[in-house]
Amino acid sequence: MTQTAAARLATGAEAAPAPAAEPVLAVEDLQTYFYTRRGLLKAVDRVSFSVGAGETLAIVGESGCGKSITALSVMRLVPSPPGRIVGGSVRLRGRDLLRLSEEEMRQIRGNEISMIFQEPMTSLNPVLTIGNQISEALILHQDVSRKAAMERAVEMLRLVRIPEPERRAREYPHQLSGGMRQRAMIAMALACNPKVLLADEPTTALDVTIQAQILELILELQQRLGTAVVLITHDLGVVAETAQRVIVMYAGRKVEEADVTSLFDEPLHPYTRGLMGSIPRLDMPETGTKGADRLQEIPGMVPPLNALPPGCAFAPRCAMATEKCQAEYPPYRELRPGHWSACWHAERLMAGGA
Amino acid sequence: MSGSLLQERRPGGGANLAAEPVLEVKELKKHFPVRKGILRRTVGHVYAVDGVSFSIAQGETLGLVGESGCGKSTVGRAVMRLVEPTSGRIRLNGHDITRLSKAEMRPHRREMQIIFQDPYSSLNPRMPVGRIVGEPLYVHGIGTAKEREERVAALFERVGLRAAQMKNYPHEFSGGQRQRIGIARALTLDPKLIIGDEPVSALDVSIQAQVINLLMDLQQEKRLSYLFIAHDLAVVKHISHRIAVMYLGRIVELADTRTLFTDPQHPYTEALLAAVPVPNPRQKRKRRILQGDVPSPIRPPPGCHFHTRCPYAEERCRREVPVAKEVAPGHVVACHLR
């Protein structure tokens, strides 16, 4: 280990980019169920997606839609019981993680796939210094000495632009501000130069000016390292500014998928359309008449997972719903190249008809 | 719906003069002592609110925005007299309420209510929600039991709940419904002013839209005044007539909504607006990102609090506190460079 971490990372020597055609991470028909007293909850129901090197895929949806459980399933961190991955595959560069032993999986977590969470304080160990926590992953996965690991931890802190990294490495999580903690988390997640980074609402708990710093940091590091990023968020603004492709989830299922521009230009699922109409916009002119411009509402609320309707889960809240929607779950169809939607009436949402 | 039940016993009585603001806050300060050691000696102060002035007219919404720790919630709590102001003056409907005793405060309490971010932690889990909403009537000794129940039922229907749900307990409701309960409770005494402390921040976007629409409809119906405290600029822009931007205990800019968004004058406002991600992938822009963290309110920087992060800061900004000045009618900015 003669090279410093930063130099290694900067040259991207180890990040052999996967061929464009082959995704780094390919999730197919993932099914994660929870067996609870309230019955069977299909938290993730046949969800598929893939993400390539250097690409950012956003998973969007409201609380309870299954976006976080999807990420935890990829990491094989779903609490079991009550949760269980009952079907599908999660291929990391061709290797199905769901078939690995727990021991093999431990070699992959924090090494080839890392995850960062919304609240860094709950995922940082309060009694270990920041430096120790970052070096732990390195010692575990990269077979380096304690001293070398600590040096690299400091390099990583410098890379995520924490001022005075030597001093900060000796500090404990509570001594850092919220934005700093999230930077430390990112440093930890990227210390082993993972192929895939799962970021679960990484900026939701942060102030907007800090959020902008952290998003910029993630994207910049991604470009340098060629990491594939799966960004889980409820914030459509964050999606628009960071992702190349988006999947929209509702009640455990994927309801729409498209590249980011197509999705915002022409959402082809009524739920996506409803979400976009229900957010107040900063980029819209101010009318000056407060009463006049109402936000578009999606009536009602997400149905509980143990009482999903037989047909489309969104039908009870959907203005376009017909009897067919109540009765039968719509097939997932490609309506424009690369733009998929699970809606019986998607054609009616297409500009200029089908 | 507000009905005869609530007509009597209003402090001061009489209609407001149109010109008189419902709420007027002048030079409000709240400093919390920082205590250390076994003797709990005061070793410093948190300057949570450090000289804040604004007013709210009837039927108007003033948005109060800023990042965590800027003191916006403390302003709301000080106005409610939930924390005691260190200095300054608070006038509600023309009455100075800054130093009133608990008993003297009571008649004024019904004129203003507060809605919190997390409705669950502000609802008693052992009380049916109908009683929670009706409690203020009971406390103020208004109406008979039957009249109170009718009023609560009417409030339930108004905020989009069913009257039959009155006997359920808070845990039986979703987040959005709980916030509706919080709103119903705030409306029980037909207040003039409602302080919303991040009232929609914990809600999912589709539910958030429902609650925002409800608040705006209620304002139209009842000519309510809102002090709307939030960190989400898009939400604040949507709901507010005027907006005050806070940074480290001080208002740095105050203007009507259109002016603030089209012609921000304070560098912090500018940076805040630039930091908000816009839900339009065609507008991906390279923006100037504000560096650094908000300094500690225990040892705020001298001079202009923002100078440590301000790209335009000059020598004077490090020494002198900028005085708020009116750069255009109703547009107040506290910056040396304007």
> A59: domain CATH number?
3.40.50.300
Contacts of B272 in chain A (CB under 8 A): 208-209
Distance CA(A240)–CA(A264), nearest Å, equals: 8
Distance CA(B90)–CA(A108), nearest Å, equals: 60
The letter for the amino acid at A86 is V
Beta bridge partners of A257: A247, A340
* Burial environment of residue B126 by CB neighbours within 10 A (0 to 12, 13 to 18, 19 or more): exposed
Q: Read off the tokens for A160.
A: 């995520």
What residue has token string 């130093």?
B99
Q: Is residue B15 part of a domain?
A: no
8-state DSSP, A196: E
Q: Does B118 touch chain A (CB under 8 A)?
A: no
Q: Which of A237, A261, A264 sits opposite B276 (nearest CB)?
A: A237
pLDDT tens, position by position, B204-217? 888 899 999 999 99
What residue has token string 């009585």?
B13
Cβ-defined contact of A209 to B258 (cutoff 8 Å): no
The number of CA neighbours under 13 Å toward the Cβ of B129 is 29
- R_g of chain B computed on alpha carbons: 21
Beta bridge partners of B31: B47
Q: Is residue B254 part of a domain?
A: yes
CA dihedral (B285, B287, B293, B299) positive or negative: negative
Contacts of A286 in chain B (CB under 8 A): 237, 257-258, 261-262
Q: Which of B204, B210, B275 sits opposite A209 (nearest CB)?
A: B275
pLDDT tens, position by position, B22-51? 999 999 999 998 888 888 888 888 889 999
On whether both A28 and A147 belong to a single domain, the answer is yes
On whether both A225 and A276 belong to a single domain, the answer is no
**Structure confidence at residue B298 as a pLDDT band (50, 70, 90):** confident
Q: Which of B206, B272, B277 sits opposite A278 (nearest CB)?
A: B206
List b or e across B110-119, with b for residues whose CB sees 16 or more CB atoms inside 10 angstroms: bbbbbbbbbb
Cβ-defined contact of B206 to A62 (cutoff 8 Å): yes
Q: Does A164 touch chain B (CB under 8 A)?
A: no
Element (H, E) at B27: strand B23-36
Cβ-defined contact of B233 to A208 (cutoff 8 Å): yes
On whether both A102 and A202 belong to a single domain, the answer is yes
Cβ-defined contact of B206 to A215 (cutoff 8 Å): no
Q: Is residue B79 part of a domain?
A: yes
Q: Is residue A168 part of a domain?
A: yes
Cβ-defined contact of B291 to A213 (cutoff 8 Å): yes
On whether both A232 and A314 belong to a single domain, the answer is no
Distance CA(B131)–CA(B281), nearest Å, equals: 48
Distance CA(A314)–CA(B312), nearest Å, equals: 50
The number of CA neighbours under 13 Å toward the Cβ of A347 is 4
CA dihedral (B303, B305, B307, B311) positive or negative: negative
Regarding predicted confidence, which is higher, B290 or A146? A146
- pLDDT of B333 over the 90 cut: yes
- pLDDT of A288 over the 70 cut: no
Interface of B with A in 203-242 (CB under 8 A): 204-210, 212-213, 216, 219-220, 231, 233-235, 237-239, 241
Q: Read off the tokens for B57.
A: 């007219």
B224 contacts B218 by C-beta, under 8 angstroms? yes
Cβ-defined contact of B279 to A239 (cutoff 8 Å): yes
The angle subtended at Cα A209 by Cα A208 and Cα A213, nearest 5°, is 110
Q: Does B70 touch chain A (CB under 8 A)?
A: no
Q: Is residue A290 part of a domain?
A: no
**Which residue segment(s) compose the domain that B91 sits in?**
22-111+191-333
- pLDDT of A46 over the 50 cut: yes
From residue B175, give the alpha-carbon distance in Å to each of A6, B105, B161.
Answer: 45, 31, 13
Cβ-defined contact of A209 to B284 (cutoff 8 Å): no
Q: Does B288 touch chain A (CB under 8 A)?
A: no
Task: Number of helices (H) and strands (E) in chain A: give both, helices first.
Answer: 14, 12
- R_g of chain A computed on alpha carbons: 21
pTM for the model stands at 0.86
On whether both A323 and A225 belong to a single domain, the answer is no
Q: Is residue B175 part of a domain?
A: no
Cβ-defined contact of A295 to B241 (cutoff 8 Å): no
- Residue B310 has a pLDDT of 93
- pLDDT of A292 over the 80 cut: no
From residue A29, give the alpha-carbon distance in Å to each of A35, A47, A50, A252, A254.
Answer: 19, 5, 11, 12, 10
Counting residues of chain A whose pLDDT is more than 90, the rounded percentage is: 57
The number of CA neighbours under 13 Å toward the Cβ of A42 is 18
pLDDT tens, position by position, A173-208? 988 888 888 889 888 888 888 999 999 998 887 888
- pLDDT of B6 over the 80 cut: no
On whether both A318 and A179 belong to a single domain, the answer is no
Q: Is residue B17 part of a domain?
A: no
Nearest of B56, B68, B47, B60 to residue B231 by alpha carbon: B68
- Residue A113 has a pLDDT of 94
Q: SS3 for B105?
A: helix
Q: Is residue A249 part of a domain?
A: no
Q: What average pLDDT score do residues A271-297 get?
A: 79
- Tally Cβ neighbours within 10 Å of residue A22: 13
From residue A184, give the alpha-carbon distance in Å to each of A160, A175, A219, B19.
Answer: 8, 12, 16, 53
Q: Is residue B29 part of a domain?
A: yes
Q: Which of A208, A275, A302 sits opposite B272 (nearest CB)?
A: A208
Q: Read off the tokens for A89.
A: 């595959």
- pLDDT of A293 over the 80 cut: no
- Residue A121 has a pLDDT of 75
Nearest of A13, A15, A20, A69 to residue A41 by alpha carbon: A69
> How many structural domains is chain A composed of?
2
Q: Is residue B95 part of a domain?
A: yes
pLDDT tens, position by position, A219-260? 988 988 899 999 999 999 999 999 999 999 999 999 999 999
Nearest of B224, B216, B209 to residue B176 by alpha carbon: B209
In which order are the strands placed within the sheet that holds A56-60? A113-116, A196-200, A228-233, A56-60, A245-250, A253-259, A339-341, A333-336
- Residue B80 has a pLDDT of 93
> How many structural domains is chain B composed of?
1
Interface of B with A in 152-191 (CB under 8 A): 174, 176
pLDDT tens, position by position, B160-195? 999 999 999 998 888 889 999 999 999 999 999 999
Q: Does B72 touch chain A (CB under 8 A)?
A: no
- Tally Cβ neighbours within 10 Å of residue A84: 15
Helices A130-142 and A146-159 pack at an angle, to 10 degrees, of: 120
On whether both A178 and A73 belong to a single domain, the answer is yes
**Which residue segment(s) compose the domain that A60 sits in?**
5-243
Interface of A with B in 270-329 (CB under 8 A): 274-283, 286, 288, 290-291, 293-299, 301-302
Q: Read off the tokens for B178.
A: 């709980």
On whether both A93 and A236 belong to a single domain, the answer is yes
- Residue B14 has a pLDDT of 40
A246 contacts A263 by C-beta, under 8 angstroms? yes
pLDDT tens, position by position, A91-127? 999 999 999 999 999 999 988 999 998 877 778 889 9
On whether both A216 and A311 belong to a single domain, the answer is no
Contacts of A290 in chain B (CB under 8 A): 61, 216, 219, 239, 241
φ and ψ at residue A84, rounded to 5 degrees: -155, 135
Q: Is residue A263 part of a domain?
A: no
Interface of B with A in 261-280 (CB under 8 A): 261-262, 271-280
What residue has token string 């949402």?
A349
Q: Read off the tokens for B115.
A: 């809605």
- Taking CA atoms, what residue in A is nearest to B260? A286
Q: Is residue A340 part of a domain?
A: yes
Q: Is residue B152 part of a domain?
A: no
CATH number where B319 lies: 3.40.50.300
Distance CA(B76)–CA(B223), nearest Å, equals: 20
Interface of A with B in 124-153 (CB under 8 A): none
Distance from CA of A106 to the nearest CA of B (A): 34
- Residue A286 has a pLDDT of 62
Nearest of B206, B203, B199, B244 to residue B60 by alpha carbon: B244
Instruction: Give the DSSP letter string of A34-69.
Output: EEETTEEEEEEEEEEEEE-TT-EEEEE--TTSSHHH
Distance CA(B323)–CA(B253), nearest Å, equals: 11
On whether both A230 and A310 belong to a single domain, the answer is no
Cβ-defined contact of A237 to B261 (cutoff 8 Å): no
On whether both A185 and A333 belong to a single domain, the answer is no
On whether both A234 and A169 belong to a single domain, the answer is yes
Distance from CA of B82 to the nearest CA of A (A): 25
Mean pLDDT of chain A: 87
